[in-house]
Structure 1
Amino acid sequence: MAKTKTVFICQACAYQSPKWLGKCPECGEWNTLVETIDQPETPKGLNISTQSKPKLISEIVYDHEERYSTSIKELDIVLGGGLVKGSLVLVGGDPGIGKSTLMLQVANHLSKERKVLYISGEESIKQTKLRADRLDVKANSLYIVAENNIETIRKHVDDLKPAVLIVDSIQTVYTSDITSAPGSVSQVREATNQFMNIAKKNGVSTFIVGHVTKSGAIAGPKILEHMVDTVLYFEGERHHLFRILRAVKNRFGSTNEIGIFEMTHKGLEEVLNPSKLFLSSAAKGATGSVIVPTLEGTRTVLVEMQCLVSQTNFNMPRRMAIGIDYNKLVLLTAVLEKKAGMVLYNQDIYLNVVGGMSIDEPAADLAVVMAIASSFRETVIPDDMIVFGEVGLTGEIRNVNQVQQRLNEGAKMGFRKAIIPHGNLEGLERPKDFTVIGMKHIDEVFKYFF
């Protein structure tokens, strides 16, 4: 009898080694190499098209993608206008964030007009039914099956012929042709390939749910994200009400859009006016509090930025940022010390974007600077004022984009003043009863407020 050959495969990048290694030489991760039986994988279902003859691109007739509305406006926005027929969508997120809840609500809405098959790989059908009752799911064309074997799932799809397939989750699905455990690189890659074949060959719109690692990346090989059409990340704290659905890859739409949801006892509810939600408990008359209009795709969201500056007795002051890049906070603190003469080397600085939002655009620089100065100088920024602008290393305030859109959102939410870059004043239409003040340098901001 021939001796069974084994190979060690990295669970992060699929690197193969004939022996065990503590650190993967390909991706640098530790303790990710897992022993797997070395056997040739059968490339099933790779032919996703029945027509292999090359054609001129000018001869191909294709007007638009056929889309389904999920009846969840926030999700439709993130998907680029709805769910494309035959697309493969990967939904990732932390445990308990609400991925299964969102998928069950999507299945409920879609099944009102078309047949939906929900594959539960982690729960029994009774557990899924219990959650469906809590979410008030009432659908006549929603089929649920608890199954992990990909061959059996393919048979269910062939028999039922659904328009939408939901797999929760891809890490629990396995094929009997591969001996490694479910969730391994080989199993995840083969299962995703088979679902891609189902989606493209049969025109079945498919959602697959994926777990994430400690670093926030989707568990399994990176090729998983390359194979699918759309990658959605569900973000937010488990014990926080707000959830943000963000597209990091979308072959059928923009990757700049986000959807905002609120977790309630009846499931996820859409937040159609996120600015109102984030500002509902904004601090009034408090130092270190600044309102900044930030762009998330095509929409403007007003969020509150809070800062606490406190004197420390230690040699190394602390710098902590939540919702803003830590390096950005350190950089802007250095600008304040050098260009504005603020003594911050003996001050702890804590910065937080309220509501769990993350801001990565340079337009928030001026708000960070003013929040730090407001807390340090014990000066209150007016409650009816919004602030935005990029701050350079020399202290100049640089232009930003979509200024008109930011001002209109501020006026709609009841704000009456704005501090903006001076270069953005040209050609600007000021909202009614709205005061716009242009600044060229942070020195002008300090003379005006502090």
Structure 2
Amino acid sequence: MFDNLSTKLDKAFKTLKGQGSITEINVAATVKEIRRALVDADVNYKVAKEVTDKIKEEAMGRDVLVAVSPGQLMTKIVYDELTQLMGGEKQDIQVKGDPAVILLSGLQGSGKTTFAGKLAAHLKKQGRQVLLVACDVYRPAAIDQLKVLAEQVGVDVYSEPENKNPVDISRNAVEFARKNNKKVVIIDTAGRLAVDEQMMAEIEQVKRAVNPSETLFVVDSMTGQDAVNTAKTFNDRLNFDGVVLTKLDGDSRGGAALSIRAVVEKPIKFISTGEKMEALDLFYPDRMAQRILGMGDVISLVERAQQQFDEEEAKRINQKIRKNQFNFDDFLSQLEQIKKMGNIKDLVGMIPGVGKAMKDVEIDDDAFKPIEAIIKSMTPKERAQPELLNGSRRKRLAQGSGTDIQQVNALMKQFEDMRKVMRTMNKMSSTKGGMAQMAKMMGMKGPLR
């Protein structure tokens, strides 16, 4: 996400490296590179021009402090402008009413149904009783997909398979929720391959029927400027309350995230990555600006970890690390928790300095599989006492896990290296080294691949 934009902005800032002062000439050259980087990232040209004009104006009005280089000052100015461009501050969704109704809109393939499941999981963690409503009466298996997701996150689904009227279904669902003590209703509506009058009229009728406290527009970030244009069309008809950007873990150039807020003047409220139900984040403009500029996002990383890791389990693991007793049972448990945190490359990108250093490194989530296979081929005694794994035992592990002896040896070496790193870590204060080591084990090109 934003890799190309980050690289090009970094190149733009290098224009000022070694410069003793900010001048109109070197600022103009830097701003030109920044504008080119934004446009290449699929940011709306008008938006890119407005932002870079503000950056230039701000830069020319600043005196460079002795302790701050021109490059550092420009980075701070760009950070401030990107943050404002994306909304300035986090905007929460409005969950009001009895029940509160959240209406989802967007084109087919934008990820509405998957987001509905993720949002249900997010609200359930807050202690709310959630009901998902299947109002996509056109797409084959749409109701079944919603039911599968609902089962994964442990919430109920309201559907009327024989009814093809989404207005009636949504109205009946709200009444059902009211009678069954469901506090939040999330309505998954139908999408189309393109905006059409029937679609827009239908979702307008649904909105009038249920009077939602929040209407969200779900958009595939990989569609670039089309995402912005579609958002504008939907907003003109629905006057939605916020935007959800999906598929930000893909190869998108990221321009939609930077443009959409400025064009429709509605906040981005969530960003979604991957298919896992836990892979949903509130949108923080300042944190996203940090990530775009290669500063990492430790706060979001810690928050994801806190959501997945049990405090008592963390204390137990910490004690074992201090006593050098961390074993493969503990490691397998930690792998399961980390997998729930989301896309691995996305997580690594949140670590300051590490994301930029690893931007060209392939990190594959499937790299967990050979590691898990090797560990699960161990006996309970071997997992508890890794030092027992001599040559003959390792050969048996390779055969039992479908890997080879080189992969088993690589895992053993990296496991020992990680234990050394863990002994020197002071919990999260030194997590950078630990996470980098974990990243190597999870998918960097190397012996386990």
Query: Normalising to structure 1: TM-score of the pair?
Result: 0.32
Larger Rg: 1 or 2?
A: 1
Query: Normalising to structure 2: TM-score of the pair?
Result: 0.32
Flag the structure with higher helix content: 2
Tell me: higher relative CO, structure 1 or 2? Use CA pairs within 8 A at least 6 residues apart: 2
